[in-house]
Homo-oligomer: A and B are copies of this chain.
């Protein structure tokens, strides 16, 4: 049985429920840690969302998401940075453990992935002073390489750590098993992340075979091929014992089910296969 804390990324409950309904469902399932998305916070208002979080003693394991830095104009890149500064304030208002960064892919019709990666480093550098002042850690989330073109050109833990090392304090990584389970350097990269004090979040779900949609067909823990216990052991050996945050995008399965059923399954799987 998993002894750590379970957190629910509220993208797992995109079944039409409101923020308040999702929180109620989590509490009813005994879940006291959440990770909301900015649209979910905006739908109820930041102040009200923060009040709900405080009133219920919820831990916010991350706010999703900042990032999306590359753009094909300087104005576009500045607009992204401005939006990221707001995201820092929102994360701070929610007392989140970190602001998760999905860094963005190739801008416009660009084929220059090296250039896009530079835009990412530059963007994080530009928002970092404000993040440090707000005491809000920035968690670079390397995404699976299948998203390199359109969502995130940071695709391995090692690459994220290289960026963090360049930028200094206040930047770390969110390790999502879905994105990194295949990495032949996974064990070494997780160990390095621990040594460097950069692990900020641990996301879980599963990789289904077959995967029918590149974005919206993630699996419930235990339904796929990821060795969740092994990866958890790596992360704990690296010194991170924070909550495991369930994040499942599942348009045709879990998003069609009531929150109570989804959460009961998350709790049961967390206790048995994570």
Contact = CB atoms under 8 A, between A and B. Distances in A.
A227 interface: yes
A contact patch SS? loop
A227 B111 contact: yes
Interface in A183-229: 183-184, 207, 209-211, 214, 224-227
Closest 7 CB pairs of A and B: A148-B182, A111-B227, A145-B182, A159-B184, A146-B146, A149-B225, A145-B145
A144 interface: yes
Interface in A102-144: 106, 110-113, 117, 144
Nearest to A106: B225
- Which of A150, A182, A209 has the most C-beta atoms of chain B within 10 angstroms of its own C-beta? A182
Interface residues of A, number: 31
A181 interface: yes
Given A156-B184, A227-B112, A146 B149 contact: no
Contact of A113 (B155, B182, B210, B224): B182
12 contacts: A106-B209, A111-B226, A113-B181, A113-B227, A145-B183, A146-B211, A149-B182, A149-B224, A150-B210, A155-B182, A155-B183, A211-B214
A128 to B, nearest CB: 21
A181 B155 CA distance: 12
Contacts of A181: 113, 148
Nearest to A145: B182
A2 B144 CA distance: 32
Nearest to A158: B184
Contact of A146 (B144, B150, B159): B144
Contacts of A184: 117, 154-156, 158-159
Nearest to A162: B184
B106 A149 contact: no
Given A155-B182, A184-B156, A214-B214, A209 B149 contact: yes
Nearest to A182: B148
Given A110-B225, A149-B225, A156-B184, 12 more contacts: A106-B209, A106-B225, A111-B225, A117-B184, A144-B146, A145-B145, A145-B146, A146-B211, A149-B182, A149-B224, A150-B210, A154-B184
Contacts of A155: 182-184
Contacts of A207: 149
A184 to B, nearest CB: 4
